[in-house]
Amino acid sequence: MSDLIVCLRANACVAVTLVGLTMSAHGQATEEISGAKQIDRRAMQEVCESSAAVSIDPKGSFQCTVCPSYTDFQGNNRESFDLQAVYQGHFSTANAEQLLLVLAGCESHASGLGGSILLTRDGTIWKKSRYFKGDKPLKCLSFKARDGLDRLVCFAGDAHFGTAAYWISAVSYKDNSLHAEPLLTGIGGNMGSGSPAAGYCYEQDITTFEKLPSDTGLMVVVKQTKGLAASGEGSCGETEIRMEPTQTVNLNFQFDGDHFALAPGSKSSLQKIENFLPHQ
């Protein structure tokens, strides 16, 4: 899987910046915007808990040079808390401007290697409403819901022992709590020296993740291929094997203003993904 820097700007209601974000799957690149231009130092001071800990890295993105007290590595000044993305909208209240900041670092692998912080504007200052440990999406799409709040559909991933996993969830921060509803799971690959799955080495990439016209939902394109590992092969990606032709699977999800659901015409496509590997 190739790495890609992914940056986007969403619609006028919800602005978003992805800053220096490296994805494990393919994506779509648009204009890159520096995170330092999206938020000010006072907002980052609320994140870092000290003005002295606020810094800007060589790429122009904000970071905390000391891990904040609410992270696993609190007080550690040898690891940074790096700003990855900024989403602006109304996530837990319709009566105040809010920012959702996605940050990497200062957390153990078990805690998701980062998290997100919800900031709420109070007059001329930003106040931290909640920190969500482990909530570290790679990319999100925003939708305005009927209740006036903004919903996000987020693409995230993780990797352990050479095997990667990706998933897409509908996310709400209503009542300053994280509510995540899985929309697509079971995507991944073991070509990073992972163990064969049901005898196969395989690779699945989410190559398209974008909104449908008029904010009626989203489109996801998955490309997948697999090859039967040789008998006794302990890991994938180390020796060359014959891979089957790549399959391209298109999925659409609909949004009715309250909920996201798989479009009826995409049910057979979902089955292609679910049945891609033999059930173990």
pLDDT tens-digit map of 179-233: 999 999 989 999 999 999 999 999 999 999 999 988 899 999 999 999 999 988 8
Give residue-wise pLDDT tens across range 227-240. Answer: 999 988 889 988 88
pLDDT at 280: 61
d(C-alpha 5, C-alpha 98), whole Å: 25
pLDDT at 11: 34
What are the extents of the domains in the chain? 4-274
Going by the DSSP 8-state scheme, the letter that residue 277 receives in this structure is S
| DSSP class per residue in 53-96 | GEEE-TTS-EEESS--TTSTTTT-SSS-EEEEEEEEE-SS-SSS
Going by the DSSP 8-state scheme, the letter that residue 106 receives in this structure is S
Give residue-wise pLDDT tens across range 142-155. Answer: 999 999 999 999 99
Q: Is residue 6 predicted with pLDDT exceeding 60?
A: no
The two structure tokens encoding residue 153 = 């559909």
Give residue-wise pLDDT tens across range 236-268. Answer: 988 889 999 999 999 999 999 999 999 999 999
pLDDT at 237: 85
What does the pLDDT average to over 124-137? 94
The two structure tokens encoding residue 229 = 């590992």
pLDDT at 58: 86
Going by the DSSP 8-state scheme, the letter that residue 212 receives in this structure is P
What band does 159 get if pLDDT is binned at 50, 70 and 90?
confident
d(C-alpha 78, C-alpha 67), whole Å: 9
Kindly give the pairing relationship between strand 200-211 and strand 217-228: antiparallel
Query: 214 CB contacts (<8 Å, ≥6 apart)?
Result: none
Alpha helices by DSSP H, listed for the chain, are 41-48, 267-274
What band does 162 get if pLDDT is binned at 50, 70 and 90?
confident
| Encoded amino acid at 138, one letter | L
Q: Is residue 106 predicted with pLDDT exceeding 50?
A: yes
Give residue-wise pLDDT tens across range 7-52. Answer: 333 333 344 444 433 333 333 322 233 344 557 888 999 999 999 9
Please state, rounded to an integer, the average pLDDT across all residues of the chain.
85
